[in-house]
Amino acid sequence: MRSSPLELLLPEGSTTGALVLGDRCPPLLAPTADGTQAVSGTVDLVILAPSRSQRRDARWTQDAAAAAASRLSRTGIAYVVPGDARRLRRALADVGLPGAGKLLHVPEVTNPRHLVQVGTPAERWALAGGIAMNRWKRVLASGLGARGRAATGPTGAIHRRDPGQPLATWLFGLGGSGLAPGSTIVSLTHRGTGGAILYRFAGERRAPDAVAKLTTAAGDELRALREIAPAAAGAGVRVPRVLASGRIGSMPFVLESVVSGRRAADLVAVGHLGPQEVQGRLADWLETWSRSRARVRPIGPDDVARFLLAPASRAGVKRPYLEFLQELGSQANGRACSFVHSHGDLTLANVMIEDHSPLGIVDWEHASAGSLPLTDFLYASVDAVAARRRYEDRPGAFVSCFTPGGNHTSSLERLRTRSATLLELDEVVQTVCFHACWLQHAANEADRSPGSPGGPFVTILHTIGAAPELFGVPLPVQ
């Protein structure tokens, strides 16, 4: 587990300890509570995060600057947050730690999802649509320059002994590439694991040339890119290539090529792409991919447990829906099914659109072999409708896709029937696929937020559980 995501900007990408001075350090940037807060000795990262009263206290300011100067290593970083703490920044410069740039916090200083180097190609790419952010904040930032960036979200300020030293030099040397150091965007993932995604902009390139994923699931992503994604590409989509892999500190990473284009979710949200168009394109590709990797065998008790009963337990499914699933599993046992490869997280945020090019598919860490068919299609179809309102009502999108009279029910039924026919899936197997899709996503959601009342996928599962016989394909009378 890493100390703070800010250490990814250090020359080696990691440190054995960090020091926090001040009472207002954003939790997402603070060192983890596992003993990495260094109490003595030299450190590579000092975070100075004063409260309002500390910012007004001249003695605190001088003492903090002196402590930073005495403890910071030769190549380390002192990070001031928020970056408009002018008195503190002047005090740091006076003790030999001049300013070395700023990071824009998106969407806000206290709870950032992205850290973007201000005044660099990375920032220009981000503000042009490279990262997800509020539309009005993006317009403000792009149209008003520095004032707009201040309104978009406060910045943090970097101070170093050598202000000209590039940040994250480790990132530009991966794989022996010897690229000219440039700028980066650090996207924070799960705080509990210290994971992050870095977009690399070599030299003055206007777009990222590579993406580094430092997460506990990096090994899963690496395996999928090597073992599963190539067949998906052969079926007609663009996928990332592995450029390098290894560990930075204790965290595994995979460096992969960038799949160019704009996120389909963004294009649907602004009306440049219709849900039905992307549903059709995805169905075409998924059918080709599934047929190329299909392995036909009977559904067995282990499959019923894996795809129906185990996720039902994780999602907290109760009777009578649980009894329905048990009966469905009994009917499915022994029936032939075309088991396929799946992406596992086919949200439109992971689908890239570029003019005159095949679809691009990214984020493969949840991909697996031996999956039930149709599940990627069912999930992506609802996601395409939900994207129109920027995912404000995913349960409502589900209703419009799969209930009688829904706005998208007829068109999706035609696509589903076509795919099921090509894969020779009978009605019982199709129904298993339908319920397995939503059980799995609800179970994943419950795993991420144990004890919570439930998010959109749990809500969808409640809708299904209230009348499960209305969903999937009508089962034959026994």
Encode the chain (478 residues) as per-residue pLDDT tens digits. Answer: 457 889 999 999 988 789 999 999 999 898 865 444 556 789 999 999 999 999 999 999 999 999 999 999 999 999 999 988 999 999 999 999 999 999 999 888 888 889 999 989 999 999 888 887 777 666 656 665 655 555 555 789 999 999 999 999 999 988 666 778 899 999 987 555 568 999 999 988 899 999 999 999 999 999 999 999 999 999 999 999 999 999 998 889 999 999 999 999 999 999 999 999 999 999 999 999 999 999 999 999 999 999 999 999 999 999 999 999 999 999 999 999 999 999 999 999 999 999 999 999 999 999 999 999 999 999 999 999 999 999 999 999 999 999 888 999 999 999 999 999 999 999 999 999 999 999 999 999 999 887 777 799 999 999 999 999 888 665 444 4
Q: Which of 477, 224, 476, 276 is nearest to 385 (CA)?
A: 276
Distance separating alpha carbons of residues 111 and 95, to the nearest angstrom: 30
pTM for this entry: 0.90
**What's the confidence (pLDDT) of residue 1?**
43
Domains of the chain, by residue range, sit at: 5-257, 262-470
Q: Which of 349, 397, 378 is nearest to 440 (CA)?
A: 378
Q: Identify the pLDDT of residue 478.
A: 41
Question: 262-470: which CATH topology?
Answer: Aminoglycoside 3'-phosphotransferase; Chain: A, domain 2 (3.90.1200)
Tokens read off for 191: 């705080």
Nearest to 96 by CA among 162, 18, 7: 162
Q: What is the pLDDT of residue 138?
A: 67
- Integer Cα distance of 394 and 415 in angstroms: 20
pLDDT at 195 (0 to 100): 85
**Quick check: 1 and 34 in contact, CB under 8 A?**
yes
Beta bridge partners of 103: 117, 156
The encoded tokens of residue 71 equal 């403890």
User: CB neighbours of 211 closer than 8 A, spacing ≥ 6?
Assistant: 197, 198, 199, 200, 240, 255, 256, 257, 258
Tell me what pLDDT residue 84 has.
86
